[in-house]
Amino acid sequence: MNAPLFKFGLFGDNVGLIFAFVIGIAFGFALERAGFGNVRKLTAQFYFTDLAVFKVMFTAIVTAMTGLFYLAWIGFVDLSQVYLTDTYIVPQAVGGLLLGVGFVVGGYCPGTSCVAVSTGKIDAVVFLVGIVAGIFAFGEMFPLLESFYNATPMGRITLPELLHVPYGVVVFLVILMAVGGFAGATWVEKTMAAKKGGQTA
């Protein structure tokens, strides 16, 4: 058991910040390569014409989830040392709905808007200013929101713990769901493309 490296004291906070910067570069690079600096490619997800958002996201989830599962299984990574946010189910569900609305109205999510800003998109700059305004409004209203923010606490809990099934079983089910989703997404894209082609012809 010797990872996460930081948690096992291989380096301190300041070296951690250097890793943060380097990992961030790779993160931004991957997002831009996927086309996620392009607002119309991102929002096409919600009009069924291009489901790359779903495909990229779930390929990434499956890759990291499966990799982490095996690294924990062979005893290299201590899963209990990987940071997990506590669950507050109702405020997180409401927050998720607002995130979705903001995504399709504004066109980006926070990470992709950074990539769009760095490739010259003016609307992404305005979107970022909007994010700052939204977080500021949340902060100023926090005394009013605090009880809802902390409502329905469930602690640090994973799907395997909630469902009382082994971790590997949930990993396998998520992989199955993703593969089924990819096939469905490709079928939807083809159907939409055929429909569009029919209109112009």
* Residue list 170-189, contact with another protein (CB under 8 A): 170-171, 174, 182
Which three-class secondary structure state does DSSP give residue 36? coil
CB of 180 to another protein, least distance (A): 15
**Contact pattern from residue 97 through residue 116 relative to another protein, giving x for each residue in contact according to CB under 8 A and a dash for the rest:** xxxxxxxxxxxxxxxxxxxx
Distance of alpha carbon 73 from alpha carbon 91, whole angstroms: 33
Kindly calculate the radius of gyration of the chain based on its CA atoms and give it in whole angstroms.
20
CB of 179 to another protein, least distance (A): 11
Q: For another protein, which residue of 73, 75, 89, 187 counts as binding (CB under 8 A)?
A: 89
Nearest residue to 160 (alpha-carbon basis) of 171, 145, 144: 171
Residue 115 near residue 28 (C-beta atoms within 8 A): yes
Given the complex with another protein, which of 89 and 184 has the nearer CB atom?
Answer: 89
Binding to another protein (CB under 8 A) within 143-172 occurs at: 143, 145-146, 148-149, 154, 157-162, 167, 170-171
Q: For another protein, which residue of 1, 9, 12, 43 counts as binding (CB under 8 A)?
A: 43
Residue 7 near residue 81 (C-beta atoms within 8 A): yes
